[in-house]
Amino acid sequence: MGSILEKINRFYRLGGVRSTAMENERLKDEISNVSHELKAPLATITEALSLLSEGSLGALSEKQKKFLDLSIQNARRLNRLINGLLDSACRENSKPSIKRSLFSITDTARTIMDSLDMIAKNKGIALEGVIPDKKIEIWGDPDKLNQVISNLVHNAIKYNRPTGKVQVSLEERDNSVNISVSDTGMGIPKDDLGKVFDRFYRVKRSDTAAIPGTGLGLSIVKDIVNMHKGAISVESEINSGSKFTVALPKNLRK
């Protein structure tokens, strides 16, 4: 995937500004091809999961159906993300954009917790939510903000230790909502804290070398937060854990 990711990165970074028109066209073509190639197997996966979920291949327990439905939701979300990539590759102005609507960020956080709970449990990690019972609605792009929280929770699980904890908290303020994801993992060295949001940046430590990753996740997270006119910050203590906090405006319709 390395070369595909690099192409996508160059495509977004250059945004047609510093690249020649011909190079930009070629990159757009490649992104379109890659997106199309990703869509075909994803459609097969979604169809197979739907058949299973409908019970066409045998009866399911409630728990099995719940996990299948979560997988279908995620496959559909992935399809929408690929469509977004295709759209922006086809558009003249290739800068990525967001589609705002009013949605419940508390529901989004709960769905993510349900989706990732099994992955956390398999690693012996407790995933805990401090999410208000009251629905908090904000104006934003639901798929993109799902991607932000999912990425942060994925990292908090991935860079944790067995028997560790991950906490996802949501706090409503007058005009904003604060989402924080904290973990009890390996932490980030002070010198690296300012760089983890850079594209392809990965902390170089002997204990992280074996953990797979691209160094792209947090840069995408930061781009999405910026597109929402929000802010992201990180605090970390080596060998004790990290906390990422995202502050998002609630009422910005544009």
Contact residues toward ligand ADP (CB under 6 A) are 155-156, 159, 183, 185-188, 196, 201-203, 208, 213-219, 242
The distance of closest approach from Cβ of residue 47 to ligand ADP in the complex, given in angstroms and rounded to an integer, is 29
Closest separation in Å from C-beta 218 to ligand ADP: 3
Amino acid at 5: L
CA-to-CA separations, 190 to 34, 156, 194, 222, 237, in angstroms, rounded: 37, 17, 8, 19, 8
Find the shortest distance in angstroms from Cβ 216 to ligand ADP: 6
Q: Which is nearer to ligand ADP, 24 or 219 (CB)?
A: 219
Residue with Cβ nearer ligand ADP (145 or 216) = 216
At 77, list the tokens: 């979300």
Minimum distance from CB of 227 to ligand ADP (Å)? 17
For ligand ADP, the closer of residues 53 and 184 by Cβ is: 184
Q: Give one DSSP letter per residue of 46-112, joined into a string.
A: HHHHHHHHTTTTS---HHHHHHHHHHHHHHHHHHHHHHHHHHHHHSSS-S-----EEEEHHHHHHHH
Residue from 200, 66, 225 nearest 141 by CA: 225
**Residue number with CB closer to ligand ADP (202 or 250):** 202
**Which residue's beta carbon is nearest to the bound ligand ADP?**
213
Cα dihedral value 130, 132, 138, 141, nearest 10: 40
Query: Are the CB atoms for 109 and 149 separated by under 8 Å?
Result: yes
Tell me how far, at minimum, the Cβ of 221 lies from ligand ADP, in Å. Answer: 7
Q: Measured from the CB of residue 219, what is the shortest distance to ligand ADP in angstroms?
A: 6
**Residue 148's closest CA among 117, 175, 122, 109?**
109
113 versus 218: smaller Cβ distance to ligand ADP: 218
Q: Which is nearer to ligand ADP, 44 or 240 (CB)?
A: 240
Nearer to ligand ADP, 53 or 115 (CB): 115
Q: Could you tell me the smallest distance in angstroms from the CB atom of residue 37 to ligand ADP?
A: 22
In DSSP notation, 145-187 reads: HHHHHHHHHHHHHHTS-TT-EEEEEEEE-SSEEEEEEEE-S--
Residue 233 DSSP symbol: E
